[in-house]
Amino acid sequence: MAKNVVIDEEACTGCGTCAAIAEDCFALNEETEKAYVKDVSACSEEQVQEAIDTCPEEAIAWAG
């Protein structure tokens, strides 16, 4: 079963670290300047976990 990922938009500062680590999974919304999940299945769980662990605001988490 695939895991889902959520981003707390209030906590996200739009630093872009997640998109730099896993560019196929995360991107920055140019209008809100916040990160969003593009396609979590496009990256390995290890890449997603690295993005979670590296987020300076702890705004990314596994859901469910």
CATH number, domain of 17, equals 3.30.70.20
- Half-sphere exposure of residue 21, counting CA atoms within 13 Å on the CB side? 20
pLDDT of 40 > 50? The answer is yes
Percentage of residues of the chain with pLDDT beyond 70: 97
CA distances from 48 to 37, 59, 64 (A): 10, 13, 15
**Global pTM exceeds 0.85:** yes
pLDDT of 64 > 80? The answer is no
The three-point CA angle 44-47-51 to 5° equals 145
pLDDT of 48 > 80? The answer is yes
CA distances from 17 to 13, 14, 37 (A): 10, 8, 13
Range of the domain at 8: 4-63
Provide the mean pLDDT of the chain: 95
CB atoms within 10 A of CB 40: 20
Report the number of distinct structural domains present in the chain: 1
**pLDDT for the residue 53:** 98
